[in-house]
C-alpha cells in the first residue's frame, strides 16, 4: 500500500501555470467572441455591445465613489473625536485629510460632466463618453434632471 507523498508529486512552475491560464483565457475568449458574432455578424454591433458594458462599469464606479466617500466621512468624524480626546496621539491633519478625501469622492461624479465640457466642449456624451439612460438621473450626480424631463417629453 503506497502512501501519498506530496513531495514526490510534480508541482507546476509559475511559467507553466501562467501558460495554462493564458490558454484557458484564449479558449474562453474565443467562445465569447463566437457567441457575440452569432446574433449579428457585424463589427459595429460587437462594438456597440462592448461600449454598452462600459456604462455598467461607470455606474458601478459612481456608486462605489459615493459609498467610499461616506465611509471616509464617517471615519473623519471618529478621527476628530480621537483628536479631541488625545491630541498628541492623533494629529489634526489626519481627520482633515480624511474629510478632504470624503468630499472629493462624494462630488467626483459631479466633476466629470463640467470637466468634459471644459476639455472637449459642446456635447460631452458624444466626445468624452459617459453614461446615459433613464435610471441615471435618479442617482445623485449621475445626470441632469432637466435632460431626463426633456427626453421623456415632459
How much is the pLDDT for 28?
74
How much is the pLDDT for 149?
44
Residue 24 lies in a domain: no
Phi/psi of residue 31, each to 5°? -65, -40
The reply to whether the predicted model has a pTM over 0.85 is: no
Residue 96 lies in a domain: yes
Residue 44: count of CB within 10 angstroms of its CB: 8
Range of the domain at 94: 46-136
Based on its alpha-carbon atoms, the radius of gyration of the chain, rounded to whole angstroms, reads: 25
- Which residues, 6+ apart, have CB-to-CB distance to 83 below 8 Å? 90, 91, 92, 94, 95
The domain tally of the chain equals 1
C-alpha cell at 62: 459612481
pLDDT digits (tens, 9 = 90+) for 36-78: 555 556 777 777 777 777 777 878 888 899 999 999 999 999 9
pLDDT digits (tens, 9 = 90+) for 115-131: 777 887 766 455 445 55
d(CA 60, CA 6): 44
Amino acid at each position: 500500500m503506497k502512501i501519498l507523498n506530496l513531495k514526490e508529486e510534480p508541482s507546476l512552475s509559475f511559467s507553466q501555470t501562467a501558460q495554462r491560464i493564458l490558454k484557458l483565457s484564449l479558449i474562453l475568449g474565443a467562445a465569447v467572441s463566437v457567441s457575440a458574432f452569432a446574433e449579428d455578424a457585424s463589427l459595429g454591433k460587437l462594438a456597440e455591445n462592448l461600449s454598452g458594458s462600459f456604462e455598467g462599469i461607470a455606474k458601478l464606479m459612481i456608486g462605489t465613489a459615493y459609498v467610499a466617500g461616506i465611509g471616509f466621512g464617517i471615519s473623519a468624524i471618529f478621527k476628530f473625536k480621537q483628536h479631541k480626546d488625545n491630541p498628541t496621539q492623533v494629529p489634526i491633519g489626519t481627520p482633515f485629510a480624511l474629510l478632504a478625501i470624503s468630499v472629493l469622492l462624494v462630488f467626483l461624479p459631479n466633476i466629470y460632466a463640467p470637466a468634459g465640457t471644459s476639455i472637449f466642449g459642446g456635447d460631452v456624451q458624444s466626445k468624452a463618453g459617459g453614461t446615459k439612460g433613464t435610471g441615471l438621473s435618479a442617482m445623485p450626480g449621475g445626470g441632469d434632471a432637466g435632460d431626463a424631463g426633456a427626453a421623456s417629453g415632459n
